[in-house]
Amino acid sequence: MKKILIQTLFFISFCIFIFPKNASAKEDQCYVCHSTLGGKPAELFKNDIHYKKGISCADCHGGDNQTDDMDKAMSKSAGFKGVPKGDNITAACVRCHADSAMMAKYGAKIPTNQFELLKGSVHGKLSIDGTERIVQCITCHNAHGIVMVDNPASPVYPLNIPQTCGKCHSNAVYMRSYNPALPVDQLQKYRTSVHGMRNAKGDPKPAQCESCHGSHGILSVKDVRSSVYPTNIPGTCSKCHSNKQYMAQYKIPTDQYANYSKSVHGIALLQKHDLGAPACNSCHGNHAATPPGIESISEVCGTCHALNAELFSKSPHKKAFDEKKLPECETCHSNHDIVTATDKLLGVTPNAVCSKCHQEDKDPKGYMEAKTMRQLIDSLESSEKSALALVNEAEQKGMEVNEELFKLRDARQARLESRTMVHAFNLDKFKATVDKGLKVTSTVTSEAKAAIHEYYFRRIGLGISVVIISFLALVLYLYIKRIEKRKEES
């Protein structure tokens, strides 16, 4: 009995080790053959997620994977399709990836709407030959070596995405065929950014292409649905930068979006939908995103506020700020929570920004100049209001004041110019600007008073005329009565 048992075990072992594996009915004969022949596709496929899930070559290429007869395996009657071309590549992927039941069968929890997103994306448009989409699934995910997105070997793993996108977007000849206006240096710029440098060092958390643009449903920047459309950019950046837990290791604030939303820039962009208002990328850049340094802040702000920046660069404050290593615009106006610039920022009151550095006992000259500037601009505003009140009074009395109202526009312009001239921090230049406005308001005040005086003069003249006319009418009436009486007596 023992001898029979040993013989039986020997026979089973012989069958397992001597007979080839491809004798199994479940063995993928396509893979067995190609792996024996060697080659890159077979080498890649052994690490492919589909192979590990039990998906055979025939599931994508068609044919009979249960026979080692090449002619039968690759016959059209067996459904063999060969190597898919063009949109047929994506169609082969979609057959499973758009079927939620099929994906659940393999335990996959990934979305099944990728194809719908791709069709509506910029990559889903027709290629230049007009026969297929610009991008197929394998363009980004590979063909036979597909691995999970969280696998560092995947082309769409966060550390690899910039290079994957750069295959096309850094190719000037290729991109010129589709959009000559689109820059091809995004990858190079990205590598100079804080995000790009951290990505290159192996940190998968900082933003890369997909973080901002999305993946399957990438839309044009001009599309209001795009995550990088101007009004959507602050929200896109805040996905990471407002997440305290996510940003904890980087030790930077996470209140930027909250502050920006209530700033003059944020209100203009997010509430008033002014596309000319700056978003995050206007100051920090997009692909080359980096916090503005001390030396560059004025240059960043100066792209819009050019005259202010030019005046500041020639002002005495420029040297002082450089010596104390103070950021220029940000020191007075802040950065993300910039408020509307008003006259309250100027002067020596507790709320004025000048008083932060200039105190009467420590810097009497600067203190007095700031105080004088505030007095000057207050006097201009007061005289403008006074002149306008007189003009309105004259207008209500029916006097012609269109010319005076037009002149007051010059006074308002001078007041606006004075707010810009503040950045020169030169009392003489500031006073000269304010004096232009004061001269206008003085002229308008005199003309408005003259119009009011003329109104009353006309009223008095009219009253006197009415009295004289009434007296003459009475005299004439009495004279006529006297004549009529004489006629009756005669």
Boundary residue ending a domain (217, 237, 266):
217
Same domain assignment for residues 178 and 291: no
Same domain assignment for residues 193 and 289: no
Same domain assignment for residues 261 and 213: no
Boundary residue ending a domain (279, 306, 340):
340
**Domain for residue 401, yes or no?**
yes
Same domain assignment for residues 385 and 325: no
Contact between 45 and 32 (Cβ < 8 Å):
no
pTM of the model: 0.80
Which amino acid makes up residue 362?
K
pLDDT, position 26: 60
Same domain assignment for residues 406 and 482: yes
Q: How many helices (H) and strands (E) does the chain have?
A: 27, 0
Please, which residues bridge with residue 126 across strands? Answer: 133
3-state secondary structure of 103: helix
- The Cα diameter of the chain in Å comes to 182
Same domain assignment for residues 335 and 369: no
DSSP 133: B
**Domain for residue 411, yes or no?**
yes
Task: Please state, in angstroms and rounded to a whole number, the distance separating the CA atoms of residues 166 and 174.
Answer: 11
3-state secondary structure of 126: strand
Instruction: Supply φ then ψ for residue 126, to 5 degrees.
Output: -70, 140
**Domain for residue 227, yes or no?**
no
Closest CA to 64 of 84, 90, 56: 56
Contact between 318 and 326 (Cβ < 8 Å):
no
Task: Please state, in angstroms and rounded to a whole number, the distance separating the CA atoms of residues 118 and 171.
Answer: 22
What are the pLDDT tens digits along the chain (490 aa)?
444 444 443 433 433 333 343 333 367 888 888 888 888 888 999 899 999 999 999 999 999 989 888 888 899 988 898 899 999 999 999 999 999 999 999 999 899 999 999 999 999 999 988 899 999 999 999 999 999 999 999 999 999 999 999 999 999 999 999 999 999 999 999 999 999 999 999 999 999 999 999 999 999 999 999 999 999 999 999 999 999 999 999 999 999 999 999 999 999 999 999 999 999 999 999 999 888 887 788 889 999 999 999 999 999 999 999 998 888 899 999 999 998 888 999 999 998 999 989 998 888 999 999 999 999 999 999 999 999 999 999 999 999 999 999 999 999 999 999 999 999 999 999 999 999 999 999 999 999 999 999 999 998 988 999 999 999 999 999 889 888 888 887 7
Q: Which residues of 296-325 are buried (b: 16+ CB within 10 A; e: fewer)?
A: ebbebbbeebeebbebbeebebeeebeeee
**What are the tokens at 285?**
């850049």
Same domain assignment for residues 263 and 208: no
- The 3-state secondary structure of 234-300 reads HHHHHHHHCCHHHHHHHCCCCCHHHHHHCCHHHHHHHHCCCCCCCCHHHHHCCCCCCCCCCCCHHHH
Task: Please state, in angstroms and rounded to a whole number, the distance separating the CA atoms of residues 196 and 329.
Answer: 27
Task: Please state, in angstroms and rounded to a whole number, the distance separating the CA atoms of residues 388 and 373.
Answer: 23
**Domain for residue 291, yes or no?**
yes
pLDDT, position 129: 85
**What are the tokens at 40?**
């890159």
Distance of CA 400 to the CA centre of its chain: 49
**Domain for residue 191, yes or no?**
yes
pLDDT, position 25: 38
Same domain assignment for residues 374 and 336: no
**Domain for residue 28, yes or no?**
no
pLDDT, position 16: 38
Same domain assignment for residues 373 and 457: yes
**Domain for residue 467, yes or no?**
yes
Same domain assignment for residues 376 and 465: yes
Measured CA distances, 78 to 74, 289, 406 (Å): 7, 54, 88
- Counted domains in the chain: 3
Same domain assignment for residues 179 and 273: no
Distance of CA 384 to the CA centre of its chain: 39
Same domain assignment for residues 276 and 203: no
Task: Please state, in angstroms and rounded to a whole number, the distance separating the CA atoms of residues 100 and 112.
Answer: 6
Which residues does 270 contact at the CB level (< 8 Å), separation at least 6?
231, 234, 261
**Domain for residue 314, yes or no?**
yes
Boundary residue ending a domain (340, 375, 395):
340
Task: Please state, in angstroms and rounded to a whole number, the distance separating the CA atoms of residues 128 and 108.
Answer: 35
Expressed as residue numbers, the domain containing 374 is: 364-489
Task: Please state, in angstroms and rounded to a whole number, the distance separating the CA atoms of residues 78 and 71.
Answer: 10
Which amino acid makes up residue 235?
G
**What are the tokens at 330?**
């940000």
